[in-house]
Homo-oligomer: A and B are copies of this chain.
Amino acid sequence: MPKYMTKQRKAFLEFLSEHSDEQLSVKQIAVALEDRNISLSAVYRNLSALEEDGKIRRVSKSGSREVYYQYIGDEHCRDCLHLSCEKCGKTFHMGVSGAETLIKNVALAENFAVDKSNTVLYGICKACQKK
B115 and A122 within 8 A (CB): yes
Interface SS of chain A: mixed
Interface string of A111-131 (1 = CB under 8 A from B): 111110011111111100100
Q: Kindly list chain B residues whose C-beta atoms are within 8 Å of the C-beta of A121.
A: 106, 112, 114, 119, 121
Q: How many copies does the complex hold?
A: 2
Q: At the interface, yes or no: A3 with Cβ under 8 Å from chain B?
A: no
In the bound complex, what is the Cα–Cα distance between A121 and B124 (angstroms)?
17
A123 and B129 within 8 A (CB): no
Interface size, chain A (Cβ < 8 Å): 33
Interface string of A58-80 (1 = CB under 8 A from B): 11101001010000000000000
A125 and B105 within 8 A (CB): no
Q: At the interface, yes or no: A33 with Cβ under 8 Å from chain B?
A: no
Pick from B62, B67, B111: contact of A118, CB below 8 A. B62
Q: Kindly list chain B residues whose C-beta atoms are within 8 Å of the C-beta of A109.
A: 94, 98
A110 and B124 within 8 A (CB): no
Can you name the residue of chain B whose Cβ is closest to the Cβ of A59?
Answer: B60
Q: Kindly list chain B residues whose C-beta atoms are within 8 Å of the C-beta of A114.
A: 83, 121-123
Instruction: State how many angstroms separate the Cβ of A65 from the closest Cβ of chain B.
Output: 7
